[in-house]
Amino acid sequence: MTQPQPHPPYRAVILCGGSGSRLWPLSRELLPKQFIRLTDDRSLLQNTLRRLDSAGAQARPMLVCNEAHRYIAAEQALEMDIQDVEIVLEPFARNTAPAIAAATLRAMRDGEDPIMLIMPSDHVLEDGPVLAEAFAQAYQAAREGALVTFGITPTAPLSGYGYIQAAEPGDLAPARRVRRFVEKPSPEVAQRFIEDGGYFWNSGMFAFQASVFLTEMERLAPKILAQVRAAVAAGQGESALFQLDSAAFEACPSDSMDYAIMERTDSAVVIPLAASWSDVGAWDAVWGIAQKTAEGNSTTGDVMVEDSRNCLIHSTSRLVASVGLDDIVVIETADAVLVAHKTRSQDVKRLVEVFKTQHRAEMNHHREVQRPWGSYDSVGHGPRYQVKRITVKPGARLSSQMHHHRAEHWVVVSGTARIYNGDKQYLLTENQSTYIPLGEVHSLENPGKIPLEIIEVQSGAYLGEDDIVRFQDMYGRV
């Protein structure tokens, strides 16, 4: 096998789907775990984007995400000073095989046949020379026709991960042929895997030549490929933002890359990767990778700990104090608090399923809700009134809209607001206010260089977010 190139020209694809329900209440449907700052001052997606330097990715990254997350994905890339990204929007969640197929077809649209690197957006992976070398080795194996996955050298018999059994090194060394995949074995079986050797944690990362992958899809998952081809052919958008066709993609079978292709192909190989890795799938995993005190406690925010051990305590908006706790998870946000035994972290998903049946808003979003133009925080409410703090980014503008059931008072706290109120247009600055009558068409813009903050007091018979009739919107929501 030829020596690996130091900077292989990958086309990188980052999969931004998934709801991260086991990490509730920090992770919500409208702000899932890949977009939250879980381990440091960058989101998991942003740390994944940083990893592209190790991959030597020369073309702009492609992000595959849900329609609801398009703006936050683009904004987080901009925060990393990545100006040129391609975003492919999935109208429905259909697991990783259709998502990867769509990304591959988009990457080949100009007649190119790139080596693809597929990375989840919601994992923690140690960057550095070991990772760069593994990416370079995978590139060479992919050039020789292999479908590559990356196997993490296991450090403990964890039963929450999938395992890959590798054959002895052979013609593609250091890549090794895959013998089989094992999905989440029992702790006893996982311990035997560790003792036997030759088993790796399944990282969910892949590398392959685009045409080779599509040929295998045509052979092993033709129904998926046919529907994805139709969804791409009938999709709409420019090169920077592409929306898959809703009807065609909805009819696509839902399946993972492992089940649809990797477990059935004869071309699967695994690149061993001896690096620190976690899928941070639940709160016990977050505790496992976090910095801890001598007593085993990991704390974030305004937290006081007394006589407590091996706890994960996260405060977002207020003081959280603990006394006499062992192996407990406490996660506080402005509108919800989770208290769980660390060994029951996986069961948080069951709570979220109950929230769905009860149509609870806490499942979908935080009290502070992100919008393309900024955010709003519902700071108080009562019968026939609601108070919000609205933050508008510089240069951003809310849609031109009206409400059937509520009137609004706006008070500028900081910055400058340009108000569109019926046929009137005027500027407001700090400590100035205005009134928007019920039924009046209105809009709000930040023409300044700093964030605009206003306090909005709504009053009326119905105050739901669905009482909005949009007429014009710079974000395409009309």
- Say if residue 291 is exposed, middle or buried (CB neighbours under 10 Å; 0-12, 13-18, 19+): exposed
pLDDT band at 349 (very low <50, low <70, confident <90, very high): very high
Instruction: State yes or no: pLDDT of 197 exceeds 50.
Output: yes
Q: Give 216-249 pLDDT, tens digit per residue.
A: 999 999 999 999 999 999 999 988 899 999 999 9
147: amino acid identity, one letter: L
Quote the distance between the C-alpha of residue 302 and its chain's center: 26
- Alpha-carbon separation of residue 39 from 46, 125, 300, 314 (angstroms): 11, 11, 10, 11
CA–CA distance, 64 with 62 (Å, rounded to integer):
7
Cα–Cα dist 320/330, whole Å:
9
Residue 25: asked if its preceding bond is cis (omega within 30°), the reply is yes
pLDDT computed for residue 1 by the predictor: 43
Identify the pLDDT of residue 351: 95
Cα distances (Å, whole numbers) of residue 257 to 186, 247, 306, 369, 478: 23, 22, 46, 33, 35
pLDDT reported for residue 114: 93
| Residue pair 28/365 in contact by the 8 Å Cβ criterion | yes
Q: For 301, which DSSP code? A: S
Tell me the whole-structure pTM to 2 decimals.
0.90
Query: Dihedral of the CA atoms 458, 461, 466, 469 (nearest 10)?
Result: -80
Could you tell me the two tokens for 406? 């509520």
